[in-house]
Amino acid sequence: MIQIMGIVNATPDSFSDGGEHDEPDAAIEHGRTLAAHGATILDVGGESTRPGSVPVGFDEEVRRALPVVERLAADGSLVSIDTYRAATAERAIAAGARIVNDVSGGLADADMLDVVADAGVEFLIGHWRGPSADMYALAEYEHVGREVARELGQRVDAAVAAGIDPSKIILDPGVGFAKAGAQNWRVLRELGDVTALGFRVLVGTSRKRFLSSAIGEDASRDRRDIATAVTSVLAQRAGAWGVRVHDVTSTRDALAVTDSWDAA
Ligand code: PMM
C-alpha cells in the first residue's frame, strides 16, 4: 500500500489552508484528524516553502513546529519535519520526528546531511535548484525527467558520502520547485527516470498551482483535492512509494478504488 503523507502546516501563511492551523493546538488536532483519515506519515512544517513566501526564521519555525512534532510523535504517529534548516531538523528529531523532509535535499544548509547522518533518521530529498524567490528563473531544462533524476542522484551521492544509509533515502521530484507550468506535468510523466534510481519516491502535487492548467485558475479547494487524488493514483501507477497531500480522505478513497479495480 502506498504511503499517504498528510500535511500539517503549523504556519499562518500556507497558500492552501491559509491560517486555519496556525496555533499548535489546532495543528495537533488537524494532524490527529489526518491520521484518523488514513495518513501513514504526518509532515509538520513551520515555514511555508510556497513560491514567493517570506522565510520566518529559525526561532519562529521551531516555536510553531516543535510542539506539534512532539505531541503527534507521542501519539505514536510517524512524523516528518518539513524543513531545510539543519538546526530545526535536529530539534525536531529530538522531539520525535523520524523523517527529515528537506525540499532542498541538503543544498540549503551545509549542516543538514551531517545532522541526518548522525541521527540515523530517514531523509526525504527534494529536487531543488534555489530559494523559492528565484525558482522560476531556474526552471530551464532540456529533458526535465532526466535532469531531475541526475540532480537527485548527485544529492544521493552527497548524502551517502556524509554517512546517510542509502536505505533511509527517499526521493521527491519537487513538483513546483524550479519548475514552471508544463514542466511539472512532464516531470510526473517522466517519473520513471526518478524511480529508476532505485530509491523510494514520494510525490507532492497537492493543491499546487500547476493543476490549474487542467482544472482552471479559479477551481475551488475541493476541486483541487479531487485533481490531487487523481494525481495520487497516477503517481502510484508510475511507481511512487508515497504521496504528500492536504486532504487525506480524497486520496485514500481514490487509492482504495484503484486497489479494488486491480484486485477484481
Ligand atoms: N511541497 C511543499 C512543501 N513541502 N515537501 C515535499 N517532500 N514535497 C513537496 O512537493 C513539497 C514539500 C509546498 O507545498 P505546501 O506549501 O502546500 O506544503
What is the tens place of the pLDDT at every residue in 109-150?
999 999 999 999 999 999 999 887 776 788 999 999 999 999
For the cut 60, the answer to whether the pLDDT of residue 19 exceeds it is: no
Residue nearest to atom 11 of ligand 1 (CA): 204
Calculate mean pLDDT across residues 105-110: 97
Which atom of ligand 1 approaches the CA of 175 most closely?
Answer: 10
Task: Give the closest residue to 187 by CA, choosing from 235, 232, 133.
Answer: 235
Query: How far apart, in Å, do the first and last CA atoms of the chain sit?
Result: 16
Calculate mean pLDDT across residues 185-191: 98
Query: Distance, CA 158 to ligand 1 centroid (Å)?
Result: 22
Cα–Cα distances in angstroms (integers) from residue 96 to residues 171, 172, 190, 212, 237, in the given order? 22, 22, 35, 37, 32
By CB atoms closer than 10 A (0-12, 13-18, 19+), residue 198 is: exposed
| pTM score | 0.95
- Model pLDDT for residues 31-74, shown as the tens digit of each residue: 999 999 999 999 999 998 776 677 889 999 999 999 999 999 99
For the cut 70, the answer to whether the pLDDT of residue 27 exceeds it is: yes
C-alpha cell at 177: 520547485
- Who lines ligand 1 at CB under 6 A? 7, 14, 16, 45, 48-50, 82, 101, 103, 124, 126, 172, 175, 202, 204, 206, 244
- Model pLDDT for residues 140-177, shown as the tens digit of each residue: 999 999 999 999 999 999 999 999 999 999 999 999 99
At residue 87, what is the residue type? A
Looking at residue 107, what DSSP letter applies?
S
At residue 161, what is the residue type? A
Q: For 208-226, b where at least 16 C-beta lie within 10 A, e where not — what string? A: bbbbeeeeeeebeeeebbb
pLDDT recorded at residue 113: 98
pLDDT recorded at residue 15: 43
